[in-house]
Amino acid sequence: MTDQQNQNAPTLNAPNDDPLKRAGYKDLSLVSLVPKWSGRDSAPPIQEFFDTIDGSAAIGNWTQADMKQVCALKLTDAARALYSATPELRNPNTTWQDFKSRFLQKFPRRMVYTIPFLPAVHGAPKENGNRAGISR
């Protein structure tokens, strides 16, 4: 092979080679990785939902239109009601970022407060091995 042919040959692990994208290949089978999202208090944070779509889209070579459509297909309950009641979300000129922003405004991140588990005062071991309030 001549040097000219060698330069034109595709190389593995080339600096600008993006292994996650294949020109002309769209993998919509990754839709199955995206969970349904309801918008209820018990639902995971919406950002996790969008991160799953964004990650699947990067691997599957999806367009913005694909991401919006997958998102719409996976919405249920209050989230689906918002989508149905907001015509601009179905507008083809709406960007994926604008689409996500609308949902992030309506379903802001919920703060989850946890109380760390602390042993009861009477159940905590003392230095000598006895429990508080218990004598031998």
Task: Kindly list the domain boundaries of the chain, sorted by start residue.
Answer: 35-111
Task: Note the pTM of the prediction, 2 decimals.
Answer: 0.65
Answer whether residue 9 shows pLDDT above 70.
no
- Spatial contact of 58 and 20, defined as CB atoms under 8 Å apart: yes
Which of 7-11, 38-42, 78-82, 100-104 shows the lowest per-residue confidence on average (mean pLDDT)?
Answer: 7-11
| CA gap 10, 16 in Å, rounded | 11
pLDDT at 31 over 90: yes
Is residue 67 over pLDDT 50?
yes
Q: Distance between CA 58 and CA 74 in Å, rounded?
A: 18
Report the range of poorest mean pLDDT among 68-72, 93-97, 103-107, 110-114: 110-114
Torsion sign, CA atoms 123, 124, 130, 135: negative
Mean pLDDT, residues 11-32? 66
